Amino acid sequence: MLGKKPKVDGGESPPKPLHQRIEQFRAELADFIDDRVRRLKKSYPGLPEVTIRQTLVGNSNCECLNALKVLRDIEEEIEIAARQS
Q: Report pTM.
A: 0.70
CA distances from 41 to 23, 46, 76 (A): 27, 8, 19
pLDDT at position 66, please?
Answer: 86
- pLDDT truncated to tens, each residue of the chain (85 aa)? 455 555 556 678 888 899 899 999 999 999 999 999 999 999 999 999 999 999 888 888 888 888 888 999 999 999 999 999 8
pLDDT at position 1, please?
Answer: 46
pLDDT at position 5, please?
Answer: 57
